[in-house]
Amino acid sequence: MLTTQRSTWKMGTGQSLVTVLFLLSLLLTLSACGNTSLQQQASQEKVQLDNLLHHALAIGVPVMLLQPVQRQEQQLAQTRAPFSLFNTQPIDDYYRNLTARYRQLLIQTQGIIDTTIQQDQALAQNALQEFHTALQHQQSNHLPVQQFAQQFSQQQQALAHATTPLQYNVISQQATTTTQALDLLQNDAALLATFHTTIQQMQQARLDVTAMQMQYQNDQQLLARGRLPADFQQLQTLLNAQYLQAVVTSRAALPFVMNAKLQELVTQVNRLKTYGISANTVSTYQQQVQTAQQMMTSTRTLSEYQQFAHLVDQALSSMQELLAQGEAAYLVNQFHQEVTSWGQAHEYHDSYNNTNYVLDAGYMSQGIGSDLDAALSYAQTPADLQNVVDEAQNALFNLHMMEQDYSDKTPYNQVHATDLQMLAHYNLQNQQVLMISLVEQAMRVYQNGKLVNAFQVTSGRNELPSLPGVWPTLERLSPTTFISPDPPGSPYWYPNTPINYAILYHTGGYFVHDAWWRVNFGPGTQFPHYDTGGDESFAGDGSHGCINMQEDQAAWVYSHTNWNTIIVIY
């Protein structure tokens, strides 16, 4: 009996010990786990963050922008929940904090995505706007740019549907490449014109130019078919080779080929003088002209011609950047002088506050004048400088149209002569155009050269004028909300404003849109005035650079236009 009792006691003691150990283990496990729903919530936030980071990379957000978020996530992954016996509160707090941190990173990542999209969209819009400026300039020079016009339309449609940084970057790259090609096209067109002049001179001398005429026709086709910068670089090489071939095949052609090259050099040296390049620099090139003239009188062989051509080509190449700098600075200076002179001679007297205002503020420094100055100061390459030249020439033409329109007493809702000149100059007769006159404060809508509707508008105030130029449609929004870029307290701040119909015509927030807070539109409303029934805070002055319209008229414009509509302001 004694033995049996001891065995029973040992058995009972062992079972009690196992039970105690089990309960302790269960208690420790429960203490270590805490609230499982909090853990699941933290895990779900991490999954959402990982998915958003993956999405950001997939749509083209740069890795370097996401790296700070990724590092913080890795640091969080290396942390562990605290050990807490009998109390789950520290563990629960850990997972609550973990969830909050993941949510912060989620918000930070979404902010990076949104900012990147906005920045890349603005870059794409700007690149497309520069492409359009170059295209309009070449069209006004009557160069073969049909292929480029089609490309612009395609890229504009791509912009209309783009939503990701990757898509915007593709548009920017394509537009930049095409703009470079347009610049080279202009250079090749000038070389081709010289080649054509040479052929005409040889023809007048009764020389056989059959082969050269065939080459010229082929060159014209190559010029018209070109799309990429490499296409026009190859054409330039081909044109130089054709001059050499003309000399090889016909010694009688030698004087004409040499004369064409020499005249081109003389013309460019004269341009240096016109643009005010230093006398020492001009003198150096004049000496090269004299040297070329001497070589021309004694050249008889192919090798002697090659020496002559090398001298002239080298001189032309070395002065290319000087010419671009000189012409750009000359035209920008001429533009500023004309703007200031005309503005001072044609001021608008505002009886509302007994103050005089210039009518060409959009052309002054607060308008496109500062844009031209900035483009000139930042230009580094001949292509950059050529863009400045193109923009300055366009600005001068638009200014002259505004000056002419100022004296035109034709009613605002009828065809104006300046409208037709703008359509012809920019080759817009077969397009839909919103033609906006700043001196009339009027919009006339043209479809394939025919006037279809007209409205009175309000443009930007003198401090923030609307920008004259020929602009593409860069965005269409209906509805949207305008948010002031200026802080509260600024004289230009405005509260968040719902807009029903908005068409972006220039980067930086320049829209054609409805202004439901105004009653009065038309001449003088771009200056301080009394609005007969609008919001007193905002209706008594011009816009912030936008083109304001009555709401029902803006609705008509929005519904009758598309992404191919051109906005012309002069």
**HEC string for 373-437:** HHHHHHCCCHHHHHHHHHHHHHHHHHHHHHHHHHCCCCCCCCCCHHHHHHHHHCCCCCCEEEEEE
22 pLDDT exceeds 70?
no
pLDDT, one tens digit per residue, over 439-461 is: 999 999 999 999 999 999 999 99
Q: Which residue has the tokens 């005089």?
A: 356
Mean pLDDT of 26-46: 76
Mean pLDDT of 393-414: 97
Mean pLDDT of 116-142: 94
Q: Which of 427, 472, 430, 482 is nearest to 566 (CA)?
A: 472
10 pLDDT exceeds 60?
no
125 pLDDT exceeds 50?
yes
Neighbours of 424 (CB within 10 A): 12
**Contact predicate 549/512, CB 8 Å:** yes
21 pLDDT exceeds 70?
no
What are the domain boundaries of the chain? 118-174, 180-318, 411-569
pLDDT value of position 4 = 42
Interatomic CA distance for residues 438 and 441, integer angstroms: 5
Arithmetic mean of pLDDT over the chain: 92
pLDDT value of position 444 = 98
pLDDT value of position 17 = 56
Mean pLDDT of 185-208: 92
Mean pLDDT of 111-138: 96
According to DSSP, the β-strands at 502-506 and 475-477 are antiparallel
* Segment among 12-16, 42-46, 238-242 with least mean pLDDT: 12-16
Q: Which CATH architecture has domain 411-569?
A: Beta Barrel (2.40)
Between 88 and 314, the higher pLDDT residue: 314
Q: Which of 334, 330, 369, 355 is nearest to 527 (CA)?
A: 355
pLDDT value of position 87 = 80
Task: State pTM to two decimals.
Answer: 0.85
